[in-house]
Amino acid sequence: MSAILILLVIGILITLIMQSMPSIKSLGIGFLWGKIWDPVSNIYGAYPFLIGTLLTSFTALLISVPFSYAISIYLGEYNPKGWLSNLLKNSIELIAAVPSIIYGFWGIFVLVPVIRSFETKIHVAPYGVGIFTSSLVLAVMIIPYAASLGITLIRMVPSPLKEGAYALGATRFEVIRSVIMPYTRSGLFAGVLLSLGRALGETMAVTMLIGNTSTIANSFKEIFFGPGNTMASVIANEFTEADHTVYLSALIELGLVLFFVTVVINLIGKRIITKFTNH
Amino acid sequence: MDARIGIRNTKSLLFKGLIVFLAFVITLPLIVVLLYIIKQGVFQVNWHFLTHVPAPVGETGGGISNALVGSLIVVFMSSIVAIPIGILTGVYLSENPHTKLSYYAGLCVDILQGVPSIVVGIVVYFWIVKPLGTFSAISGSIALAIMMLPIVIRSTEQTLRLLPPSLKEAALSLGVPYHRVILKVIVPCGFAGILSGIMLSIARIVGETAPLLFTAFGNPYLSTAITKPMETLPHLIYTYATSPYDDWHNLAWGASFILLMFVLILNIFTKLITRKWNIQL
């Protein structure tokens, strides 16, 4: 049975590589930084989607990290037991349990109008949908992955270490800053990596909120607040419409890139965690 | 000196305040989303809604029976595929933690866990949809089964690892053959943990949309043929939420409400089981 699993993963890899062969052959490596994606005139460049994916994921990560660290510290150190801590822990897990399609649906009807009026205020084109909106929703969605790991890790800090610091007269903040944080740094970083892996591959919520434009604007402000596309969302939108081989295979090549990136990030994260917990 | 201590204490307090604020503020989006879905969806749900197919554009009313039936069938079929393979692999991994095969299998579980769901959709499209020449419920089930596997495997493995070895040794010393020890002692003892893993994985896949876009696809009519396209709850929400019609949005709100409730109840059940049996997942 375990052998089936290995075959499954190898099969996934082979299928992706085989099916993206036509596009690898005809487009070459330049595909990755080609700036124009225009299936009608047979021009394929992945640059807009790479930018879209990286921008949404890292913005989401940036927003989510303070929150996931705060939850880890609060539930790991300040308040590890009791009903309030249980309640908070369960609600964090619920955030991960809500299907992404529901975040997307909610986003379209509640968040988009809010963002639109915000964009009017700061004088950018009020699309409402776009990279910024997707990042906000993504940020909420990926918090649980880093947080639940962080809680476990912070609880694993040996108490003699903390007690030693307290005995030297350290305040709680100082204990957290100079004992707990250094001790758990690599583990917390692994949690952030897992969150990033999630964010890169997230499809539905982003597809519904990003606006789905494959052209890329000139200034950063326009890109950031304007509509865009990520690798996952362009696959979701165009896969069933792709009507010739190279088009389809270019989309699959995007999937292949996505596969590699998320798998590598996840494996690095897992490795760090195993190292940490075996110590 | 005193002033210095005062500053340090204040700093510590301020930091605590900041942490508490950040930790609790994040429940706000969750509460807002849940309340909004409930508010929009709860009045949509009635008997008519559950037993009728969606009405065409321009007509009010209609329901989501096709998606309910479809989701049930698709999730059921993927469970049939994923649960046996998942449990067997989990047993293997926990019984033989140090073989080469289990090292690579473990690595594959980690890889599968990280695969974006949309990529699973692409792969299953080429494995099943293309050879069969049509979108089908069975292909959707396979895609979801692939998403289910790592969760079932990991929870089985972790539960069984925590069982005391004396259990197995006692059974073996009574002369019970190895396969019966696994079937009659090990698996029943870890049953609650395995069950909660299964429920968790079902809760995860029932809301998955991305792999279904290219596999089960969707169908505006009630269908039970597993080799034909089939509507599912998340796919219905996706198509109707992105449509421009208010009636369809209402259907999607109702469907979201039902999906959300289903996922919440499964999660609460899992919580209760794990608490009762004191399982760490």
**What are the residue ranges spanned by the domains of chain A?**
2-278
Q: Which of B10, B35, B108, B128 to mutate to test the interface with A (most CBs of A within 10 A)?
A: B108
CA dist., res. B140 & res. B227, Å (int) = 10
Interchain proximity A140–B29, CB inside 8 Å: yes
In B, which residues are within 8 Å of A1 by CB distance? Answer: 85, 88-89, 92
Q: DSSP for chain B?
A: -HHHHHHHHHHHHHHHHHHHHHHHHTHHHHHHHHHHHHHHHTTT-SHHHHHSPBPPTT---B--HHHHHHHHHHHHHHHHHHHHHHHHHHHHHHH-TTSHHHHHHHHHHHHHHHS-HHHHHHHHIIIIIHHHTS--HHHHHHHHHHHHHHHHHHHHHHHHHHS-HHHHHHHHHTT--HHHHIIIIIHHHTHHHHHHHHHHHHHHHHT--GGGTTTT---SS----TTS----HHHHHHHHHTSS-HHHHHHHHHHHHHHHHHHHHHHHHHHHHHHHTT---
A232 in contact with chain B, both atoms CB, cutoff 8 A: yes
d(CA A9, CA A14): 9
The pLDDT of residue B11: 92
Q: Does residue B281 surpass a pLDDT of 60?
A: no
CB of B118 closer than 8 Å to CB of A251: no
Please tell me the predicted confidence (pLDDT) of residue B62: 78
- For A2-278, which CATH superfamily applies? MetI-like (1.10.3720.10)
The pLDDT mean for chain A works out to 89
Residue B1 pLDDT level (bands cut at 50, 70, 90): low
CB pair distance less than 8 Å for A203 and B259: no
Minimum Cα–Cα distance from B200: chain A residue: A97
Among A12, A109, A203, the residue with its CB nearest the CB of B210 is A203
Q: Do A203 and B209 touch (CB under 8 A)?
A: yes
User: pLDDT tens across A119-142, in order?
Assistant: 888 888 888 888 999 999 999 999
Say if A255 is an interface residue toward chain B (CB within 8 Å): yes
Q: Which pTM does this prediction carry?
A: 0.90
Token pair listed for B62: 């209609």
Answer yes or no: is pLDDT of B72 > 90.
yes
C-beta neighbour count of B244 within 10 angstroms: 7
Give the B window 55-94 contacts with A, CB below 8 Å: 85, 88-89, 92-93
Beta-carbon separation of B207 and A98 below 8 A: yes
The count of C-alpha atoms lying within 13 angstroms of the C-alpha of B239, restricted to the half-sphere facing its C-beta, is 15
Does B42 contact A at CB distance below 8 Å?
Answer: no
| Chain segment A174-213, per-residue pLDDT in tens | 999 999 999 999 999 999 999 999 999 888 999 999 988 8
> Which alpha helices (H) appear in chain A, and where do they start and end?
2-27, 47-73, 83-97, 100-106, 112-121, 131-155, 159-167, 172-175, 181-201, 204-209, 220-225, 231-238, 245-278
Over range B64-90, report the average pLDDT: 92
ipTM of predicted complex: 0.89
Span A143-160, mean pLDDT?
A: 91
